[in-house]
Structure 1
Amino acid sequence: MVALLILGGLLLIITGLVWLVMLAFGTSLLWGIGSLIPPINLAYALRHWRIARKAVVLGSMGAIPLVVGVTMLAAQDPGRLQAILSLRWMGGDEPQQAELDVRLRGELNGQRFLPQHAELIDGVLTLREGQDFYARRELVIRLGEQPQGALRLDVLPQDAGKQPEVEISWVLPDHELPEARRIARGYTLHLDLQPVAPNKLAGEFHLVLPPRFATTLTGRLELFMDQLRYRDGRVDTTYDSRDTLAHVIREYLQRRFSTREVDLRPLPALSLPARELEVQVGARIAGQPQDLLLQLFKNDASGWRVRNDRYPPLAPVVPQPATATLVVARDAVGSISTSLPVDRREHFSLQQLLTNPRDYQNLELRVATLRGSMAQGRFAGLDRDGRLVIRRSLGGSGEASFSVGAEEIERIELLEP
């Protein structure tokens, strides 16, 4: 409807202008050529009003649906109107590649739903359309627990017990605040998401709410598992988020205190985006509690940094030499060499695991990543990309797998001899 109003108004205005030029040529060749220039065609309309008035009235009538259409578009989709008025559609630049591969088909509250942002943080899956403070349309699924590794979930309308809560919200054209509905049961949900390095999940998504909510969504979904962004395999410190600041602060504390054993407590509430911040930081460093007041600033080239940071980088981890097998000679019938088992937890390191992965097959590991997440399970070997694969039994509900690259690991422990 909006497009028809705008196009109809433009068509009437163009028709009126063409008619005015034809009338000017009918008056004289000089007036006809001059009417092709905007100031002169206005002078012609004023000088020969009786002849030109019909064309002027027709063009003026086109302004009415044009103004109505633009007003409705501004209320329904201000981002689209801004893109049209800024003439970005005329540029020859190639469109920027989207951060996420979201290929979902469906609707929310009877309207087409095209989410541009998707994340699963602290057990809350969020699909959001629109860049304003209140999303134009938004879908939230509260899973209750943040998954580690793959996520597989199936919910049917007849399922009993507590199920993930689904919330949908939308902003009407003439309203400032969104309307929301919460659904606790009676819906169909299918999730089959696999980890994608470094911090994403991707896979199948299917949701059908009860008919009165007019909401169905199906297709392929890719989402972020934290608020970090990566560029060329490294954390993009120019991105404004609490996780980015936590990463910068953790790396700073490791260099300042010359240890990788930094357990950072959650940061306080921060006002982002910003150029400078003062943050009260609490952490346990090498087993000792520390409270620090840090000043951070943002540089357009290097991103967020701690002010007065002059500490050198940490020395690289030196691989430990392989532990020799102890041989004890004893006299039985003759001299017999016996190999005694050694505790592999002693002198265990990531380098040893990568060098001899078969020696640690099916042993219990605990891994802490640079992003602050923790995974524990049995070592299942290395995949084709050289990433560690850890599996954890979920009891009767199956098995979860977690893969992590060596460059993402902050601390690794072997829990079995």
Structure 2
Amino acid sequence: MSERKYFGTDGIRGKVGASPITPDFALKLGWAAGKVLATHGSNKVLIGKDTRISGYMLESALEAGLAAAGLSAAFTGPMPTPAIAYLTRTFRAEAGIVISASHNPYYDNGIKFFSTDGTKLPDEVELAIEAMLDEPMDCVESAELGRASRIKDAAGRYIEFCKSTFPAHLSLENYKIVVDCANGATYHIAPNVMRELGAEVIEIGTSPNGMNINQKCGATDIKSLQDKVKETNADVGLAYDGDGDRLIMVDHLGNKVDGDQIIFIIAREALRNGSLQGGVVGTLMSNMRLELALKELAIPFVRANVGDRYVLEKMQEHNWKLGGENSGHIIISDKNTTGDGIIASLAVLSAMVQHNLSLNELTKAVQLFPQVLINVHFSGGQNPLDSETVKLTAQEVEAKLAGKGRILLRKSGTEPLIRVMVECEDGALAQECAEKIASAVREN
């Protein structure tokens, strides 16, 4: 496969104002995408965004580029990433574009594409767009220019779609739910979904100003959610990230419930009602307790590399429909084609209602093992993981854990770091083992 210049595993991302997240690049990207996509026979592209202030600038530039190539843009305004995947399918658009940097601070932004069926663009299309970026920009004849329009009912359409995934015979009446939308793209969606299903909703992180997205709120910082759940005696707390594809939950006692525990609850419920197809895909970082808890239910489990793209690839490889990461990316592929925080939360809430159990009770079967992570800097050159001493130390630690824990050693893809992770039921033992391996890495 050709070397990529701009597209990463999750689109194009960076600091606003620095290459490639600039208005001139967005203009050229819109044009290049338009030229490639126009050859596929459609003339409509959906453009959605999160609540970052830079979204206005980037959506305008993308629209101008698409128009110059002869494609029309339909704006949705601020919408969760999974909503754009869904709407791209329902509108039969040639593609969907999301302007978002997910859980990053407001001064970052990104651009990612969905195909007409709501999945990631095929590699060959991304590579064709990159090749077109090197061509001189031109403009179609005036009569062929694209037009711009706005989808006024985009939020309502997606709210109804989310509600349709919740069993019709169940209701959230008598539930008090704190919803933290990270001042991001779910701010006008998630609270309405929960209210329309009958819940009493307490909102936090629903006042975006363009610069407070993910700021001390949302799935990456749940302290305010934990405090609000306890303060209001709520039944449960839901935290989404800036673009709504991640979910972290909080039980009525204020305990964090992460992606691994959420996946287990959804998998067990699917097994009970006969809708589980095959097994579950996790990642290299998925907690060992998740693996053991699934094994107790005879549910197959495999690990993919970290990243929802790799989780989805592994799900497709096995023809399974459930996978995710401990960070809260949960993919339920028979409901949506990408990670969807709101739909994942409804799957857990339906299990709570169906069995009249609290979130705390539902997570009892998957009490996570303590995980110790140590980052060790090295000066470059030879990879310390190739050292015989490090390998021998790792083998000694594995023997000590005796199958009741695991280690993960990996080189960072972005920094000169070796990441040493050890997990087991005994937190003190995990710390001791991690420090022993880290010491061997430092000496080599």
Q: Structure 1 length normalisation: TM-score?
A: 0.24
Q: If you compute each CA radius of gyration, which structure gives the higher value, 1 or 2?
A: 1
Q: Per residue, is there more strand in 1 or in 2?
A: 1
Q: Per residue, is there more helix in 1 or in 2?
A: 2
Q: Structure 2 length normalisation: TM-score?
A: 0.23
